[in-house]
Amino acid sequence: MRQPFIAGNWKMYKTMAEAESFAQLFRSYKRKEGVKVAICAPFTDLPVLKRAFSYSGIMTGAQNVHFEDRGAYTGEVSLPMLKELGVECCVVGHSERRAYFGETDETVNKKLLKLLSGSQITPILCVGERLEEREAGRQTEVVAAQIEKDFAGMTEDQAVRTVIAYEPIWAIGTGKTATPDQAEEMCAFIRKKIGELFGQETADQIIIQYGGSVKPANVKEIMAQPDIDGALVGGASLDPEKFLEIVNF
C-alpha cells in the first residue's frame, strides 16, 4: 500500500515572517488522515517551519543540498547542515535548478547518494521532459535516461526511499496541466523503468508524484490515477487554503 504524499515547493517565495503566518494558519486546519504532507521551502524558512510545524505531522523539506559535507562552495548548503535542522525531505534535480544553475544528472546522482547514504532525509527527485522533447515524441526516452543516470549506483533499499516527481517542464507554472492520461502514462512508465532497474517489489513500493500546475480543481483526477501517488505543488502551495484543498483531495 503506497501512502499518498503531497508536497509543496515554495521555490523562491516567502520570507521568514510569511512562512510563519502560513505555518500557523495551515497547521490549525483539519487535514484528511493518511496523507503525508510536506513544505519544501527556501533555506532561511526551514528553522521557522520546523518550529511552527512541530507535533503537527507536517514535514519540512529543503529544495537543494550539496554533495560534499563541507568546503569552499560559496552559497551552498550541506547535508550536515540540513540534518542539524531536522528536515525530513529534500528536493533534488528540480528542472529550474537543471535549467538555471547547471544541475546535471551527474550532480543529481551524487546528491541523491549523499542523502541516502548519510541521512534518513527523503529525497524528492524531479524528472521530466521539455516541450520540444514532448512534441518530438521523445518524452519516455528523455525520462528513462534521467532515471538511469540519477539512480546509478543505488541499492534497492536506497531506490525505494527515493520519491520521484514527474514534472513535465511545459506544465510548470504555465497553467497547462498534463492531462490525467498523459501524467498516468508517464508515471506508469517510470514505475516500469524502476522495476527493470531494481525489481518489481521496489517498483510496487516507490512513491511517484506528478507536478505541474496542480490545483484544487484538478488534484482529484490526478490522484485517481493508479500510478500517481502524490503531487509536487508549486504556485498553489503558497496559499494555505488552496494547499489545504489539495492535501484534502
The values of phi and psi at residue 208, to 5°, are: -120, 125
Instruction: Judge whether 226 and 236 are in contact, CB under 8 Å.
Output: no
> For the chain, what percentages of helix, strand and coil (3-state, to nearest 5) are there?
45, 15, 40
172 binds ligand 13P (CB under 6 A): yes
94 burial level (CB within 10 Å; 0-12, 13-18, 19+): buried
60: enclosing H helix or E strand: strand 59-62
Residue 183 or 233 having the CB closest to ligand 13P:
233
Provide the minimum distance between the beta carbon of 7 and ligand 13P in the complex, in angstroms, as a whole number. Answer: 8
Taking the C-alpha atoms of residue 56 and residue 183, their distance in angstroms, rounded to an integer, is 31
Indicate which single residue of 183, 234, 246, 247 sits in contact with ligand 13P (rule: CB under 6 A). Answer: 234
Interaction with ligand 13P in 84-113: which residues (CB under 6 A)?
94
Considering the rule CB under 6 A, would residue 168 count as an interface residue with ligand 13P?
no
- What is the DSSP code (8-state) at residue 234? S
C-beta closer to ligand 13P: residue 46 or 203 = 46
Q: Does 167 bind ligand 13P (CB under 6 A)?
A: yes
Q: Which of 139, 183, 145, 138 is nearest to 165 (CA)?
A: 183
Does 66 qualify as catalytic in the annotation?
A: no
Query: Looking at 5, 9, 45, 208, which residue binds ligand 13P (CB under 6 A)?
Result: 9
Alpha-carbon distances, residue 10 vs 23, 81, 149, 157, 175 (angstroms):
13, 20, 26, 29, 16
Which CB sits closer to ligand 13P, 190 or 203? 190
- What string marks each residue from 117 to 156 as x (binds ligand 13P by CB under 6 A) or -? ----------------------------------------
**Total binding residues toward ligand 13P, as defined by CB under 6 A:** 14
Q: Residues 94, 96, 129, 133: which is the catalytic one?
A: 94
133 is catalytic: no
Piece of the chain touching ligand 13P by CB under 6 A; list 16-24, 107-115, 148-156, 210-218: 210-218
DSSP state of 2: P
Binding site for ligand 13P (CB under 6 A): 9, 94, 167, 172-173, 211-214, 232-236
